[in-house]
């Protein structure tokens, strides 16, 4: 697949807007066919999928929302837990007339995708986790630091600086927390810039502290992975991920027989941006080669009772 203007965020699909429960939800949608729901990570937005969305839309209906508190969506005071995000995505799907979808979640979005599949299994055809949170304790020290009490007073000062420029001057310091100049730092800088807005900053802290504490990730869905046995399940990970280690993906794969694991040796935390062609090949192939899950209440009940 050759590069095209669609790879640019500026030329990406325009944002649409919908009001749900009195709050604005921004989203991108394109294509026709089976629905694929793309869920971005923390401080990011739907443009994180800009390099793959136009091509994926050639054979699918692709829905990529800005999560509540992110991007063009509203940033109210309220609940930013995984469960609240999952419920919001369910409501968006229903409002747009989508009955089922393949869930693809990146980073925080992976935790939300898992939660969505647990809360509303009738909606989930397949589950794809990309460098996902919620599968182990370890997480980058910068996120642990942001979860510390009092960080709300430090973030406005940090957000007033230009992280990318500072990163070029302090590459040695950033290297000690695993960050390299390139996609990971660029995407973190882009997210960092959004924190200059007080409402976005408050939403970030509420979201982060619901899943991360100073000691590491506080949410671990590993004990519930067995519930995904009835769903086509794939993990995609950048081997050089400095935010969430690839060992989390390998451990989850080992715990779930029948799952797939695709490790991108030259990618960091954003394989869909580092290697969009391979990402598309892997995701499209997985969808083509698997049958959508069918909800079996008796089977799900048996799984739960067995545990």
Active-site residues: which are they?
107, 241, 269
Residue 307, class by beta-carbon neighbours within 10 Å (0-12 exposed, 13-18 middle, 19+ buried)?
exposed
Of 37, 46, 89, 88, the C-alpha closest to 66 is 46
Q: What are phi and psi of 190, to 5 degrees?
A: -65, -45
Distance between CA atoms of residues 73 and 116, nearest Å = 19
User: Hey, what are 207's tokens?
Assistant: 């979201």
Query: Which residues, listed in sequence order, are joined to residue 275 by a DSSP beta bridge?
Result: none
Q: What are phi and psi of 153, to 5 degrees?
A: -90, -20
**Where is 194: in which H helix or E strand?**
helix 183-194
How far from 61 is each of 31, 142, 211, 228, 272, CA to CA, in Å? 4, 36, 30, 23, 18
Residues 6+ positions from 143 with CB-CB distance below 8 Å: 208, 212, 243
């Amino acid at each position: 697949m050759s590069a095209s203007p669609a790879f640019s965020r500026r030329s990406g699909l325009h944002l649409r807007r919908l009001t749900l429960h009195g709050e604005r939800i921004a989203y991108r949608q394109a294509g026709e066919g089976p629905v694929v729901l793309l869920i971005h990570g923390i401080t990011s937005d739907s443009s994180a999928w800009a390099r793959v969305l136009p091509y994926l839309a050639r054979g699918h209906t692709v829905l990529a929302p800005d999560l509540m508190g992110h991007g063009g969506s509203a940033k109210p005071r309220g609940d930013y837990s995984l469960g609240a995000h999952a419920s919001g995505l369910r409501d968006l799907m229903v409002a747009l007339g989508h009955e089922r979808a393949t869930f693809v979640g990146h980073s925080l979005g992976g935790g939300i995708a898992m939660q969505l599949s647990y809360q509303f299994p009738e909606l989930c055809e397949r589950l794809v986790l990309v460098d996902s949170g919620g599968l182990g304790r370890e997480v980058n020290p910068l996120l642990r630091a942001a979860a510390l009490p009092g960080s709300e007073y430090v973030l406005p000062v940090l957000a007033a600086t230009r992280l990318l420029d500072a990163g070029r001057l302090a590459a040695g310091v950033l290297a000690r927390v695993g960050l390299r100049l390139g996609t990971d730092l660029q995407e973190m800088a882009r997210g960092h810039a959004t924190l200059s807005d007080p409402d976005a900053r408050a939403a970030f802290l509420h979201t982060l502290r619901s899943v991360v504490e100073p000691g590491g990730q506080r949410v671990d869905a590993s004990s519930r992975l067995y519930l995904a046995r009835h769903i086509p399940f794939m993990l995609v990970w950048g081997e050089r991920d400095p935010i969430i280690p690839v060992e989390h993906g390998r451990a989850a794969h080992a715990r779930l027989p029948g799952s797939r694991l695709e490790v991108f040796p030259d990618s960091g935390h954003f394989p869909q941006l580092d290697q969009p062609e391979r990402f598309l090949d892997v995701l499209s192939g997985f969808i083509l080669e698997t049958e959508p899950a069918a909800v079996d209440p008796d089977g799900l009940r048996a799984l739960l009772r067995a545990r």
